[in-house]
Amino acid sequence: MSKHSSVALVTGAGQGIGRGISLELAKNGFDIIGMDIIHDAENKKVGLFEVKEKVEELNVSFLPIQGDVSSLEDHEKVINQSLEGFGKIDVLVNNAGVAPKKRLDILETTPESYDRLLSINARGPFFLTQKIANQMIKQLKENPESKPCIIFISSISASVSSPSRAEYCVSKAALSQTARVFADRLSEYGINVYEVRPGIIQTEMTAPVREKYDKLIKEGRVPQKRWGFPEDVGKAVAALARGDLGYSTGLILEVSGGMNISRL
């Protein structure tokens, strides 16, 4: 595998937003390390190996790695396999995340659901970033001209209340602050850190509430009056990974069709 192209590690790369990010980065010449909890080499219709085929059609490499972002033991394995494959990690995209298995009013939220979401959506990315940031610092000592960066995929739920999935909102708010603190700490090394906040994106995660969101969009909750798609998020990530906004570490980039606009 190439050790010259820029290399991006995307967590949760097998479907949804992670798939969209992987494809857009590949279009921009990045070799991709795709991490996902499901690693089924026999399944070429959906999952990591479907993404691998699509990425490799773009004449870049794709390394599929099985890993659970909530498992700190898996972090070491993923980093070791990434370095064996490419010798470096230039970009980390913290995308993997989950929604509650069942939406419950905040007055009924269970400790089990809260712990699950915080473990996967906040704690896992925090410690994976810690490890990869230290690897990037080592790489900079060897190649001071490199421009590594880290991108967190949070959600408008980091700042918008949804009482029927409070634990999701809390986990994304925690992830947002994680991005901010890493941006601050890593600025001295020239490692830029960004947060991308998707709005209502058409993925497997939003499929169970498709009708609800169709209605909200029709009623004008989204000024641009359409669903977002994984490629919308992927294009934003690609711009950041390319360095197009190089003087903007700590930036929160919302990809929500204008839901960030305060309106009467």
Catalytic positions, written as ranges: 168
Q: Where are the alpha helices (DSSP H) in 143-257?
A: 166-186, 210-218, 230-242
CA 110 to chain centre: 26
Residue among 129, 125, 65 at smallest CA distance from 98 = 125
Half-sphere exposure of 206 (CA within 13 A, CB side): 18
- Round to whole Å and give the CA distance between 140 and 114: 37
Q: What is the DSSP letter of 252?
A: E
Tokens 């896992």, located at residue = 124
How far does the chain reach from its first CA to its final CA, in angstroms?
54
- Round to whole Å and give the CA distance between 182 and 194: 9
Q: What is the DSSP letter of 43?
A: -
| 199 burial via Cβ count (<10 Å: 0-12, 13-18, 19+) | buried
Tokens 């939220």, located at residue = 109
Angle at 155 between CA 185 and CA 18, to 5 degrees: 90
- Round to whole Å and give the CA distance between 153 and 106: 24
Radius of gyration of the chain (CA): 18
